[in-house]
Homo-oligomer: A and B are copies of this chain.
Amino acid sequence: MRILHTTPRADGFWMPAEFERHDGCLMIWPVRSDSWRSGGWPARKAFCAVASAIARSEEVTMLVDPSQYETARAMLPAAVRLVEMQTDDAWARDIGPTFVRNRNGTVRGVDWGFNAWGGLMDGLYFPWDQDNHAARKICDLYRVDCYDCRSFILEGGSIHSDGAGTVLTTERCLFSAGRNPKLTHAEIEDKLCDLLGASRVLWLPRGIYGDETNEHVDNICAFTAPGRVLLAWTENRDDPQYALSKACEDYLLQQTDACGRKLDIVHLPIPQMPVCIAKEECEELDIWDGVPTWTPGERLAASYVNFYLANDAVIVPQFGDPMDQNACEILTGEFPGREIVPIDAHEILLGGGNIHCITQQLPQGGRSGLYA
């Protein structure tokens, strides 16, 4: 693995869209007991369900702390590859490299700086050194060269690409005080374009209400095709989410993408009933640094937009809500060639994220399988 100090855009690389073909998917086994209740056991079952569903249509590699290797191997199907790696938690989307590709099918990784969603300002755990080192190790594992972008703080969940020059992100997250406070808006936009090989950035103002990542875009809006997005939505004007989703829609209606297209916007409902953490669930989380992870009854940032697009499937979070079925039907319409796989995401939500947050696609390279 070579460490590169040029930029993907200058080298002719760009971030493919998630809806394009993948060579595989990366996940990380949940371990830390202040993120995952009951010592991580319920979350592990949910991660296994997600990994098993994805493994039916693409290769899945699960990274695991050495202490959990044997357990993970016993719980996961044989099709899932298990590889040791130390991390601080289990967020492959946010700590993994962002993979970029060129016209020849060569794949490289972008290694962003990671500071646990806000560092000492409003980060969610400390330390985060293992997480910050993971992207480079992952590039090495897959034998791809790696762009050194550690001086710029960004998580994979805060960006989407249409694979054709357009990047979708949120102002609330990228302009947060805990990430890159010394950079101007224009400088951040330039970084995104240089490092994702893009020419147009769409700036949604907000994300999902209560999202502790400073409102990552991958919880509120996603491309389904070039020129078409799903937007998390509620018609309930008393819900604090209404104003946030409306602001995003108002913005998107005025924009064009990198190709000059207006965007088709498809509403994807949020759950009808707020998803909140129960008192008993709070009590089963270990305490970290004297501060409980949640307070009983706190609303979690539940959204169906946080799905994962596998080659032949859409892995859709479910919350035991009347809207579960509705969300699956809309996604069936958007992705007619793919199986819709609904998975109970409650335990992943308790950890602070959702299905998209715990996965990272490996775009298809020019050679089959890995990037050997």
Contact = CB atoms under 8 A, between A and B. Distances in A.
Interface in A109-153: 133, 136-137, 140-141, 143
Interface string A42-59: 000000000000000001
A2 B367 CA distance: 24
Given A83-B140, A84-B85, A86-B84, A1 B69 contact: no
Interface in A67-95: 69-70, 73, 78, 81-86
Contact of A370 (B2, B3, B369): B369
- A interface: dominant SS: mixed
Given A133-B69, A369-B367, A84 B81 contact: no
A83 B83 contact: yes
Copies in the complex: 2
Contacts of A141: 81, 83
A66 interface: yes
A137 B82 CA distance: 8
A302 B368 CA distance: 44
A372 interface: yes
A82 B372 contact: no
A186 to B, nearest CB: 34
B81 A133 contact: no
Nearest to A139: B81
A73 B1 CA distance: 10
Given A137-B69, A369-B370, A1 B78 contact: yes
A136 B69 CA distance: 11
Contacts of A84: 83-86, 137
A81 B140 contact: yes
Contact of A86 (B2, B66, B73, B370): B66
Contacts of A140: 73, 81-83
Interface string A295-330: 000000000000000000000000000000000000
The listed residue with most B CB atoms (<10 A of its CB), out of A81, A83, A136, A140, is A140
Contacts of A66: 66, 86
Interface in A1-55: 1-3
A136 to B, nearest CB: 8
Contacts of A73: 136, 140
Given A2-B78, A82-B137, A84-B85, 14 more contacts: A1-B78, A1-B81, A66-B66, A66-B86, A69-B133, A70-B133, A81-B140, A81-B141, A82-B140, A83-B84, A83-B140, A84-B137, A369-B372, A370-B372
Those 8 A-B pairs whose CB atoms lie nearest each other, nearest first: A369-B372, A370-B372, A66-B86, A2-B78, A84-B84, A84-B85, A82-B140, A81-B140
Interface of A: 1-3, 59, 66, 69-70, 73, 78, 81-86, 133, 136-137, 140-141, 143, 367-370, 372
5 contacts: A1-B78, A66-B86, A73-B136, A369-B369, A369-B370
